Amino acid sequence: MEGKMKAAVMTGIKKMGFEERPVPAPKDGEVLVKLEYVGICGSDLHYYENGRIGDYIVNPPFVLGHEAGGTVVEIGKNVKDLKIGDRVALEPGRTCGHCEFCRTGRYNLCPDVVFFATPPVDGVFQEYAAHEAGLCFKLPDNMSTLEGALIEPLAVGFHAAKQGGAHFGQVAVVTGSGCIGLVSMMALKALGVTEIYVVDIMQKRLEKAMELGAAGIINGREQDPVQAVMKITGGRGCDLVIETSGNEICARQGIEMLVKDGTLVQVGYSASGDMKLPTSMICDKEINIKSVFRYRHIYPLAIQAVKEGRVNLKGIVTDTFDLDDVQNAMDSSVNNKENIVKAVIKITK
């Protein structure tokens, strides 16, 4: 498919513009996807505001966006499992397939991963993307490409829940009710955990958590979350904490509220890069600490959960912006975090 496409590019700190670029041609084993929705992730906002995340530095012009859903419009050679017209969710990371992590199934830890919107690799705030067919997962008839775009953050939530050994009968707490906190909560529910409490300081986000099925909410501005959890559990503490805020205070509180031999799953990255945690308490209580880096082997599970109605992905979307309005989309997401839980870019009108 020859022609040109529109791409939204980051031209500088808090500056977006547009470029006309060639429509990519699918290579052997790839498909060309006409993108329809792309979610705005916290990492996109971090690059937009700061120009970097750790050692990953944006060199403008740079295309953001890695949460994508769309329709296959062209097939490369040797592609057998997809056809033109299939609607797909794109898993954004290509791994080497040869390192010890890939060979042992832990491909998310591959040191040579090529991941959308991780410098110097452009993302997909654009009209088309050519991508490896094996990383394009066909959506069932009852799922939209909007939901397909949101499979990516949901995969993070499922990986967090699985890292924590989530199962029926546990009392779980999710700290942070942004997108990742909400999908973590919904993943816990889908895996059988029924008693889930969500902690945040933004009331509207907490209300969204209740809307999506939390057993209860705790506003950290109004009450001490540790005391609240202890009261709820009769002084025992919770079994599992999924920490999505990246806030040191929340991580420390999570350790305090855990029962002995409980599990903390650290998902959120600290803005300062490091946290000081109470190691004496960790040892005294034999706390299990797990962490999350993206996900692995999760997309089929996440898609099945949405297909069966176990997860309401559409429910986390609070705002939708057209591609032409990308500057406003990014600025609004940065400046109105109280009200915008999850924003999505609609690529096609």
Contact (Cβ atoms closer than 8 angstroms) between residue 34 and residue 124 = no
pLDDT band at 272; cut points 50, 70, 90: confident
Domains parsed from the chain with CATH numbers: 4-138+318-346 (3.90.180.10), 157-291 (3.40.50.720)
Q: What is the pLDDT of residue 9?
A: 98
Q: What is the pLDDT of residue 14?
A: 97
Q: What is the pLDDT of residue 329?
A: 98
Indicate whether 1 pLDDT > 90. Answer: no
The CA angle 15-11-24, to the nearest 5 degrees, is 125
pLDDT band at 59; cut points 50, 70, 90: very high
Crossing angle for the helix pair 299-307 and 179-190, to the nearest 10 degrees: 80
Indicate whether 247 pLDDT > 80. Answer: yes
Q: What is the pLDDT of residue 36?
A: 98
Residue range 313-341, pLDDT digits in tens:
999 999 999 999 999 999 999 999 889 99
pLDDT band at 277; cut points 50, 70, 90: very high
CA distances for 40 relative to 84, 100, 103, 185, angstroms: 27, 32, 31, 19
Give me 207's structure tokens: 């209300």
Indicate whether 295 pLDDT > 80. Answer: yes
Closest CA to 88 of 128, 135, 43: 135
Lookup result for tokens 């042992």: 104
> Please, what sign has the CA dihedral across residues 203, 338, 49, 120?
positive
Q: What is the pLDDT of residue 76?
A: 97
Lookup result for tokens 């299990």: 288
Q: What is the pLDDT of residue 338?
A: 87
Indicate whether 208 pLDDT > 90. Answer: yes
Classify residue 78 by burial, with Cβ atoms within 10 Å: 0-12, 13-18, 19+: exposed
Distance, CA of 158 to CA of 169 (rounded, Å): 18
Indicate whether 2 pLDDT > 90. Answer: no
Indicate whether 271 pLDDT > 80. Answer: no
Classify residue 85 by burial, with Cβ atoms within 10 Å: 0-12, 13-18, 19+: exposed
Q: What is the pLDDT of residue 273?
A: 76
With pLDDT > 70 as the criterion, what percentage of the chain qualifies?
Answer: 100
Indicate whether 251 pLDDT > 90. Answer: yes
Whole-number average pLDDT of the chain:
96
Report the chain's C-alpha Rg in angstroms.
Answer: 20
Q: What is the pLDDT of residue 53?
A: 86
- The stretches of the chain forming alpha helices (DSSP H) are 42-50, 100-103, 145-163, 179-190, 203-211, 225-232, 248-257, 279-284, 299-307, 326-335
Distance, CA of 121 to CA of 335 (rounded, Å): 26
Q: What is the pLDDT of residue 238?
A: 98
Distance, CA of 66 to CA of 41 (rounded, Å): 8
Distance, CA of 17 to CA of 11 (rounded, Å): 6
Distance, CA of 168 to CA of 294 (rounded, Å): 24
Closest CA to 199 of 265, 253, 158, 248: 253
Averaged pLDDT for residues 340-348: 95
Contact (Cβ atoms closer than 8 angstroms) between residue 194 and residue 172 = no
| Longest pairwise C-alpha distance within the chain | 65
Q: 3-class SS at 42?
A: helix
Averaged pLDDT for residues 92-105: 97
Euclidean distance between the first and final Cα of the chain, in Å? 20
Interacting residues of 84 by C-beta distance below 8 A, sequence separation 6+: 72, 73, 74, 75
Q: What is the pLDDT of residue 270?
A: 85
Q: What is the pLDDT of residue 54?
A: 80
pLDDT band at 274; cut points 50, 70, 90: confident
Classify residue 291 by burial, with Cβ atoms within 10 Å: 0-12, 13-18, 19+: exposed
Residue range 138-187, pLDDT digits in tens:
999 999 999 999 999 999 999 999 999 999 999 999 999 999 999 999 99
pLDDT band at 4; cut points 50, 70, 90: very high
